[in-house]
């Protein structure tokens, strides 16, 4: 054996510890997806997620884990996120991206809970809502004067409604409760462009997680559905168009891209994740969670300057 290999090995151990500027939280997309993550099998993680026969053998374990997780979901998620934030703080990371773990006010007030518990945090907690809003706004075809807003009224949904109203676009809602909540949330001037509509005629629909199949069937032929939610709607109309969830194509120089959402194309990254990278690259030393939003225009321009590209609009309907 070459004795120099021992010296090389010892030297390699003496190098400074690598620090991550941005830390993302691992999350599931389906019960079986746990086997595709770092906690699972590397062989599965190296390929797109597909159902394998041997995963059915593990189904009893998967089912038990899923039931346990669902029963203690809120407590487990909040505990995991808080632990990850404190670990990132200890390691000197710049940004912790909540990504798809940011599941709304009912869970952790969009991350605000952690800032209240740890007001002296140096690591910045970023939920990425501002870039998600920017992607949706820039996905709306030019010349549009009216859109339908339908779905869970999240932080992103309110911000979209506000931005569109300030630009003079009419935002139509289909449900009385959503109409009242939007009017109460927005100021008088912006709220004047929020209307309650019984018509399903507008061809641009901005949709969230609570969009029903019945509502989709009432949309006009050729309607473009643009999701503002983190998860895509079920595509049931062959005569309509479905855009991706808020996401962008990553620049070619970006290497070692690990696993992203399995409903997005290759080398396409969720806007919520990209925002964490931008905060670190630009040195924005601010939190973006809770009710706090970052500048929509600023984060959009930064994404383009760093080589992230908007996705092409769908050219044909999907089954």
Beta pairing, strands 204-207 & 146-150? parallel
Which pLDDT score is estimated for 91? 85
Which pLDDT score is estimated for 195? 95
Question: Kindly report the CA angle at 192 between 194 and 216, in degrees rounded to 5?
Answer: 10
| In the chain, domain spans | 21-130+250-305, 140-242
Tens digits of residue pLDDT in 112-135: 888 888 889 999 999 999 999 999
Question: CA torsion 262→265→270→276, rounded to 10°?
Answer: 100
Q: What is the pTM of this model?
A: 0.81
Tens digits of residue pLDDT in 262-293: 788 888 999 999 999 999 999 999 999 888 89
Q: For residues 165 and 20, give the distance between their C-alpha atoms in angstroms, rounded to a whole number.
A: 39
Q: Which of 138, 134, 133, 139 is nearest to 224 (CA)?
A: 139
Average pLDDT, the chain: 84
Beta strands in the chain (DSSP E): 22-24, 95-97, 124-126, 146-150, 170-173, 194-196, 204-207, 224-227, 241-242, 247-249, 268-270
DSSP for 214-225 reads HHHHHSPTTPEE
Q: Is-contact 219 205, C-beta < 8 A?
A: yes
- Residue 50: CB atoms within 10 A of its CB come to 10
Query: Would you identify the CATH topology of the domain 140-242?
Result: Rossmann fold (3.40.50)
Q: Is-contact 179 194, C-beta < 8 A?
A: yes
Tens digits of residue pLDDT in 123-167: 999 999 999 999 999 999 999 999 999 999 999 999 999 999 999
Tens digits of residue pLDDT in 45-86: 666 666 677 777 777 777 776 666 555 566 767 777 888 888
């Amino acid at each position: 054996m070459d004795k120099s290999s021992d010296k090389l090995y010892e030297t390699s151990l003496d190098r400074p510890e690598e620090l991550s500027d941005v830390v993302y939280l691992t999350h599931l997309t389906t019960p079986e997806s746990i086997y595709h993550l770092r906690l699972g099998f590397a062989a599965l993680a190296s390929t797109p997620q597909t159902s394998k026969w041997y995963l059915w053998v593990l189904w009893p374990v998967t089912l038990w884990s899923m039931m346990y997780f669902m029963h203690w979901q809120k407590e487990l998620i909040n505990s995991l996120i808080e632990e990850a934030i404190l670990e990132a703080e200890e390691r000197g990371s710049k940004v912790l991206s909540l990504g798809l773990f940011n599941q709304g006010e009912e869970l952790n007030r969009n991350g605000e809970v952690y800032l209240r518990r740890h007001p002296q945090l140096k690591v910045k907690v970023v939920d990425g809502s501002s870039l998600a809003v920017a992607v949706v706004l820039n996905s709306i075809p030019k010349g549009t004067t009216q859109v339908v807003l339908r779905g869970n009224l999240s932080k992103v949904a309110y911000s979209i409604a506000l931005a569109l109203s300030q630009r003079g676009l009419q935002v139509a809602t289909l449900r009385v409760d959503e109409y009242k909540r939007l009017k109460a949330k927005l100021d008088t001037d912006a709220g004047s462009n929020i209307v309650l509509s019984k018509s399903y005629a507008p061809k641009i629909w901005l949709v969230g997680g609570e969009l029903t199949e019945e509502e989709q069937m009432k949309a006009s032929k050729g309607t473009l559905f643009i999701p503002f939610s983190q998860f895509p709607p079920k595509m049931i109309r062959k005569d309509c168009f479905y855009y991706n969830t808020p996401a962008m194509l990553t620049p070619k120089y970006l290497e070692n891209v690990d696993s992203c959402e399995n409903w997005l194309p290759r080398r396409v990254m969720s806007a919520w994740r990209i925002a964490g990278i931008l905060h670190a690259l630009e040195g924005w030393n601010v939190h973006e969670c809770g009710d706090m939003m970052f500048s929509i225009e600023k984060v959009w321009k930064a994404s383009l300057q760093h080589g992230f590209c908007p996705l092409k609009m769908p050219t044909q309907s999907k089954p």
